[in-house]
């Protein structure tokens, strides 16, 4: 099995990252391309329930799994790094594409979801942004760093989900 194509979706809060990922997953599924999504919960901690699987973990189990009629849920009692999670899930599922939401510090190719906060920011590293996605009919606020990256063909400006899906599939197939 070949390695999956990995892409990140980054942007500011409420910019539409989750909505974009949902649409990407639907589009890939329609094309029979399997995907795996991974999300950063940043500073949030998991709240254990009184369900059996959580009770096993809080009792000291290193891992716990529940097999339902329609899915399998696996929980580990430790925090893993992103690459380890990707490796293991891809082995289990055979996914073709991994979509990561967040983890801005990683260096995978990124889709930056447009928001009006971008031109005000100095914290973004534009070197790993492959696509700038802004589907809303709004004025594109000029930003020197973005314009230069687009001009040099290092970043592709995209408004249409179909175009974005097509470009990602081309990248997947050209590897």
> Alpha-carbon distance 160 to 43, whole Å?
32
**How high is the pLDDT of residue 1?**
55
Question: What DSSP string describes 20-71?
Answer: HHHHHHHHHHHTT--EEEEE--TT------SSHHHHHHHHT-SEEEEE-SS-
Strands ordered across the beta sheet of 156-158: 35-39, 97-101, 5-10, 110-113, 129-133, 156-158
> Alpha-carbon distance 144 to 122, whole Å?
12
Lookup: tokens for 159: 């408004």
Q: Catalogue all structural domains in the chain, each as residue range(s) with its CATH number.
A: 5-44+79-173 (3.40.50.300)
pLDDT in tens, 77-127: 888 999 999 999 999 999 999 999 988 889 999 999 988 777 666 666 778
What 121-127 contacts at long range (C-beta under 8 Å, 24+ apart), as own/partner pairs, is 121/12, 126/155, 127/154
> Alpha-carbon distance 99 to 8, whole Å?
6
Query: Which segments of the chain does DSSP mark as H helices, in order?
Result: 17-30, 52-59, 82-93, 144-151, 161-173
Confidence band for 21, pLDDT divided at 50, 70 and 90: very high
pLDDT of residue 167 exceeding 80, the answer is yes
Residue with tokens 């999504």: 37
Confidence band for 27, pLDDT divided at 50, 70 and 90: very high
């Amino acid at each position: 099995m070949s390695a999956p194509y990995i892409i990140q979706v980054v942007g500011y809060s409420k910019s539409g990252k989750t909505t974009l990922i949902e649409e990407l997953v639907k589009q890939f599924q329609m094309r029979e391309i399997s995907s795996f999504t991974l999300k950063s919960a940043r500073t949030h901690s998991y709240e254990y329930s009184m369900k059996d699987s959580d009770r096993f973990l809080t009792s000291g189990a290193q891992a716990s799994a529940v097999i339902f009629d329609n899915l399998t849920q696996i929980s580990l009692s430790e925090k893993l790094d992103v690459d380890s999670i990707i490796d293991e899930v891809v082995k289990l599922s055979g996914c073709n594409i991994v979509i990561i939401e967040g983890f801005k510090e990683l260096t995978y190719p990124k889709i930056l979801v447009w928001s009006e906060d971008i031109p005000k920011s100095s914290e973004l590293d534009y070197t790993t942004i492959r696509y700038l996605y802004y589907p809303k009919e709004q004025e594109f606020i000029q930003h020197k760093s973005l314009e230069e990256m687009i001009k040099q063909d290092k970043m592709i400006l995209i408004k249409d989900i179909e175009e974005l899906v097509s470009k990602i599939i081309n990248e997947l197939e050209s590897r």
